[in-house]
Chains A and B, each alone.
Chain A
Amino acid sequence: MTTLDPIMRYSAFNLFKQGLRGHRGWPLAWRAPTPAKHYDVIIIGGGGHGLATAYYLAKNHRVGRIAVLEKGWIGGGNTGRNTTIVRSNYMIGSNVDFYEWSMKLWEGLSQDLNFNVMLSQRGQFNLVHSDAQVDAARRRGNVMRAHGIDAELLDAQAVQEALPQLDYRDSARFPIYGALYQGRAGTARHDAVAWGYARAADRLGVDIIQNCEVSGFEFSGERVVGVKTNLGTIGAGRVGVAVAGNSGRLAQMAGFELPIESHILQAFVSESIKPCLDHVVGFGAAHFYISQSDKGGLVFGGDLDGYNSYAQRGNMPILRDVISSAVALMPQVSRLRLLRHWGGVMDMTMDGSPIIGPTPVDGLFLNGGWCYGGFKATPASGWCFAHSLANGGHHPLATDFTLERFEKGLTLDEKGMGPRPWAH
């Protein structure tokens, strides 16, 4: 492994030293290499997951030369299109320990990458609005605690003390009965995650090649031995796919189908206002989640639009739906203006859980099906996918995230929706 160049390292000392020179001496955070003829591992997709995979592959495994191919610019896809929430409140199979490992990696990530990912463990309240939801929250909390994850069931009074700005009137459409609280949950700066992983991977010798779109695969017999791109054909020992909403298209190029549909998810940011919301809040009566960014905007989102789409933009009915959830929960936001509003393409699996591991094609590996929970999974996803690319098979934390689980009846349906990907 290459050692860190002391000038490149971000530290108070270097900040001071560069400050004396008018900050003109900072080198580029990562190189812009021309692609080599052959790499031992090629990762398609330069989002958080692809870059994290490259970083952990270079750091934890010895596989030779690694490249990340990105069709646009790094972090320009879903990494920059989410609501930045980080949590580990899962209940079924591999999900529980996998997301907790992700949480633990988040907690040390800024130090590990020497890049401030601005992790803010402000705590998440998942509100419950009926006796049945209280029981479900208690069960989920107990599963989490049995796995060593922090979880606390709060009654309405405790929630009101922490979140006085919600609607607690008797006339509220969905009265608040309490909340399942995870104190270590919170938010992280999404762009910094892509930049931090890119810089750290680059320092370990990974080639990050932007504006390089994959249009097909090279085969030798049944085995993938390279990728065709707009920059020419690049040979590869193994190829990993981490392309979020475009997983289905890459699978089609390789000649197989996935238990995945691409769906559109919209998210919203309001104009900046003074601090009014210290935590992440999930509304239990509808699908809605909200937090306040460091710049003061309220960042929130809700359900999928609910039909197959690759458009990166949604329609009005869901906007109305999400805004009415916001107003039902926090009536005082009704006169806020929206600053930004965007859509991202989600690869929704048939059970709402991800896929990390080998595919039916020899030499080709898939990291996908993150539905709309991919951001929080970024570190562990990279960690486990790096293991698959280096050793084949599945990482012990991801043994349930197989492609075969569907035909074997071993689905991980956290929400209990069945094979309707738009309902997860």
Chain B
Amino acid sequence: MRITCPYCGQRDLAEFAYGGDATQPRPDEADLDAERWAQYVFSRKNPRGWHQEYWQHLHGCRAWLQVTRNTATHEIAEVGLPHGQ
């Protein structure tokens, strides 16, 4: 698996660290509802197919990336910056 970093180009998987599911919205800090926080921290759609996820180019430019990757084939469709920055 190779990931095309927007800053560094196509790099080997070994340079990247995984940051997990990018689809769970973080509740507002003032939100004290335990259920919503539990949903954010623990609950996952865990799809077989296209998955939005965070990666960090840890052994490169250290930028955090948002990647669209297929969990059944390991194909990568899109690499961008988190939250469409």
Contacts and interface: CB of A to CB of B under 8 A. Distances in A.
Contact of B48 (A258, A310, A317, A320): A310
B13 interface: yes
B44 A311 contact: no
Interface string B1-23: 10000000000111001101100
A259 to B, nearest CB: 4
B74 to A, nearest CB: 6
Contacts of A14: none
B71 A350 contact: no
Contact of B71 (A259, A311, A317, A422): A311
A309 interface: yes
Q: Which of B12, B14, B43 has the most CB of A within 10 A?
A: B43
Interface string B45-85: 11110010100000000000000010111100000000000
Interface in A243-300: 246, 248-249, 252, 257-262
A406 B71 contact: no
Given A308-B51, A311-B74, A422 B20 contact: yes
Contacts of A246: 48
A262 B51 CA distance: 12
Contacts of A311: 71-74
Contact of A259 (B1, B17, B44, B47): B44
Contacts of B43: 257-259
B29 interface: no
Q: How many residues of A sit at the interface, in one of the four size bands? A: 20 to 34
Among B13, B35, B48, the one with the most A-chain Cβ atoms within 10 Å of its Cβ is: B48
B37 to A, nearest CB: 9
Contacts of A309: 71, 74
A76 interface: no
Interface string A375-414: 0000000000000000000000000000000110000000
Contact of A317 (B14, B44, B73): B14
Contacts of A252: 45-47
A407 B42 contact: yes
Contacts of A262: 46, 48, 71
Nearest to B2: A315
A399 B11 CA distance: 46
Interface of A: 246, 248-249, 252, 257-262, 306-311, 315-317, 320, 350, 406-407, 419-420, 422
